[in-house]
């Protein structure tokens, strides 16, 4: 009887391991409270879902367990910072949070390198999960270190501004859009036959009318540059908007604006909003 009981216990262990292997694939190891561990394939569609490892998307971690998990995120990259909730509030790793079943965590990342490895350590009642993943560092990290300043804002709508990269990452800007302007009549940049709608260091980079709607400041249309504009660490680049105008851009449509919010896009597809203030 003892031999049969021992045989049954061993069989149940193998059955349990098989069930784990067949039902989950999002983490590298699972540790039980009895010290056993099972290696499983890496996948993004199981108990700990991970999305956004490429530069164009914000990393998102989702707890697909049926219980609460305490998750710690860390990296060996000394220049790395995390932005929990992708809210603009940066912290040094490691970062620990608690995720309820089905809860997501967006995590902005930045570092003076093109990619970093993030180590994830999750603990829950009766066990733990560990996983390491490589994430591309978006140029958004560099874009968020770009500061804007207004050089000239004329009453006729002419507008000059400067962007400065105060961070440590090279940035290639390939698009721009306007989110908001402080004059509610302003609805576009350009529109009177001048092809130099947006100019960078004296070179035309956008030759079409840039339209925007200040009542929807979170949905700016980004217009492609005819050539990328390099913005390296500690570098400043002078830009010029041809003229802010009312919708339609007819004669006498120039509108004087002071404060403006713009979206800039990097060559890897990441974007950031820059505030231009007088």
Q: Is the pLDDT of residue 259 over 80?
A: yes
Q: Where are the chain's structural domains?
A: 2-138, 141-276
By residue count, the chain amounts to: 278
User: Which CATH code of 2.60.40, 3.30.2450, 3.30.70, 3.40.30 fits the domain covering 2-138?
Assistant: 2.60.40
Give CATH for domain 141-276.
2.60.40
Task: Look over the chain and give the mean of its residue pLDDT values, rounded to a whole number.
Answer: 82
pLDDT at 268: 83
pLDDT at 250: 80
Helices (H), the chain: 2-23, 140-143
| Maximum C-alpha span of the chain | 99
Q: Is the pTM of this model over 0.85?
A: no
- Report residue 212: phi and psi, to 5°: -160, 165
Q: How many CB atoms lie within 10 A of CB 113?
A: 15
**What separation, in Å, do the N-terminal and C-terminal C-alpha atoms of the chain show?**
86
Residue identified by tokens 């950031």 is 272
pLDDT digits (tens, 9 = 90+) for 120-163: 998 888 788 888 999 988 876 677 667 788 888 877 788 999 99
């Amino acid at each position: 009887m003892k031999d049969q009981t021992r045989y049954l216990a061993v069989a149940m262990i193998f059955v349990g391991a098989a069930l784990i292997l067949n039902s989950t694939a999002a983490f590298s190891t699972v540790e039980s409270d009895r010290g056993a561990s099972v290696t499983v394939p890496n996948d993004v569609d199981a108990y700990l879902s991970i999305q956004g490892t490429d530069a164009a998307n914000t990393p998102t971690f989702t707890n697909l367990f049926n219980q609460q998990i305490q998750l710690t995120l860390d990296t060996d990259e000394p220049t790395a910072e995390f932005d929990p909730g992708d809210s603009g509030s940066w912290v040094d790793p490691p970062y620990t949070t608690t995720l309820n079943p089905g809860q997501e965590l967006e995590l902005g990342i930045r570092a003076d390198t093109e990619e970093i490895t993030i180590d994830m350590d999750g603990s829950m009642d009766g066990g733990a999960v560990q996983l390491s993943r490589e994430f591309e560092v978006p140029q958004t990290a560099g874009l968020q270190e770009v500061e804007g300043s207004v050089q000239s804002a004329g009453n006729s709508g002419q507008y000059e501004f400067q962007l400065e990269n105060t961070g440590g990452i090279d940035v290639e800007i390939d698009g721009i859009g306007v989110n908001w302007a402080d004059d509610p009549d302003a609805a576009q940049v350009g529109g009177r036959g001048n092809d130099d709608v947006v100019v960078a260091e004296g070179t035309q980079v956008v030759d079409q009318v840039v339209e925007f709607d200040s009542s929807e400041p979170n949905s700016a249309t980004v217009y492609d540059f005819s050539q990328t504009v390099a913005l390296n660490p500690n570098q400043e680049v002078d830009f010029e908007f041809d003229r802010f105008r009312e919708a339609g851009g007819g004669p006498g449509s120039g509108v004087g604006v002071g404060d403006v919010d713009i979206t800039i896009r990097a060559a890897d597809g990441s974007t950031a909003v820059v505030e231009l203030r007088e």
